[in-house]
Structure 1
Amino acid sequence: MPSSLTAVPNVRRIETDRSDVFACEIANHVSAADLENLYGLLEGAYALHPRIDVLVHFTNYEGVDWSELSEETKKEGQEHANAHIRKCASIGGPDWVSHFSGFFAPSIDVELKRFEENEEQEAWAWIGATPQPLDI
């Protein structure tokens, strides 16, 4: 069993060449703590830019524990997404485009597009950004 020092988080930020693009990888099974982490990362992006584009890359996706997240947190996440997200691309994983279109208010103009795993380059081009290596 891996220790907490070797465990890799299931939500990981992907650096990009544009500061107004929030990109992340979501892997394996996503817990309520992972969702809280994701919301915190998004809040940081919203604080820097009033409008952002989002790219989510799913790898080895095994589901999300939405039931463990409070209704208040879900509602706040939806309100903030409505206020800040312009475009959202997903790569691999489930087809959440129809699910997420219900996540955004009908009066909000958010472009959503899903890409297959083998279309990663197309997803990055659609968002208009390039992933960057981490500065370690």
Structure 2
Amino acid sequence: MNAAPDGSVIQRDAPRPDLLAFEIKDKITKPDIEWMSAVTDHAMQAHQKIDMLLIMSHYEGSEFGAKFDGYANSVKARSVAHIRKYVVVGAPAFAEAMIKLSGLIMPVDTKTFDLADEASAWSYLAEAGPAGA
């Protein structure tokens, strides 16, 4: 596992290189969102398509500066063309609604799971196979 500078985000080990798995453990800081964006950017450059799993175990929101980080927002905008499956575990109700809505209007397959169902999220992504397939 790798951790972001302030520790609010950690990268979880994943069974394949085209699957990024992050755990959100606190309030996301600007250095941490930049770190997470750099990891994502690198994966998008290495693989045409990727899958992403976010586990929000103790999500407490984002610092103001993190929400408006230029690099993070550019990676987010470009990710639409590279992310095949975007799976979120433990999203707060407002975030879950936004994830489901974005799945209807963007070419990304989105799915949410309750925190207690993390194993089901991993199984769902395992059954999907490689993102580039």
Q: TM over 0.5: same fold?
A: yes
2:117 corresponds, among 112, 116, 119, to: 119
Question: In the alignment, is residue 33 of structure 1 matched against residue 34 of structure 2?
Answer: no
Aligned-residue offset at 1:86: 0.5
TM-score using structure 1 length: 0.76
Which letter maps to 1:63?
G
Aligned-residue offset at 1:51: 0.5
Question: Equivalent residue for 2:65?
Answer: 68
Question: Equivalent residue for 1:49?
Answer: 47
Whose strand fraction is larger, Structure 1's or Structure 2's?
1
Question: Equivalent residue for 1:23?
Answer: 21
Q: Which has the higher contact order (CA 8 A, sep 6+)?
A: 1
Larger radius of gyration: 1
Percent of residue pairs identical: 24
* C-alpha separation in 1, matches of 2:6 and 2:69: 27
Q: Deviations over 1:20-73 (max 9, x none)?
A: 1010111111111111111011011112101001001112211112x3144633
Question: Equivalent residue for 2:88?
Answer: 90
Identify if the C-alpha distance between structure 1 residues 75 and 63 changes in structure 2 by more than 3 Å, giving closer, same or farther: closer
SS in 2 for 1:83: coil
TM-score using structure 2 length: 0.78
Whose helix fraction is larger, Structure 1's or Structure 2's?
2
Which letter maps to 1:51?
K
Unaligned stretches of 5+ residues in structure 1: 1-6, 130-136
The size of the alignment, in residue pairs, is 121
Unaligned stretches of 5+ residues in structure 2: 128-133
Aligned-residue offset at 1:104: 7.4
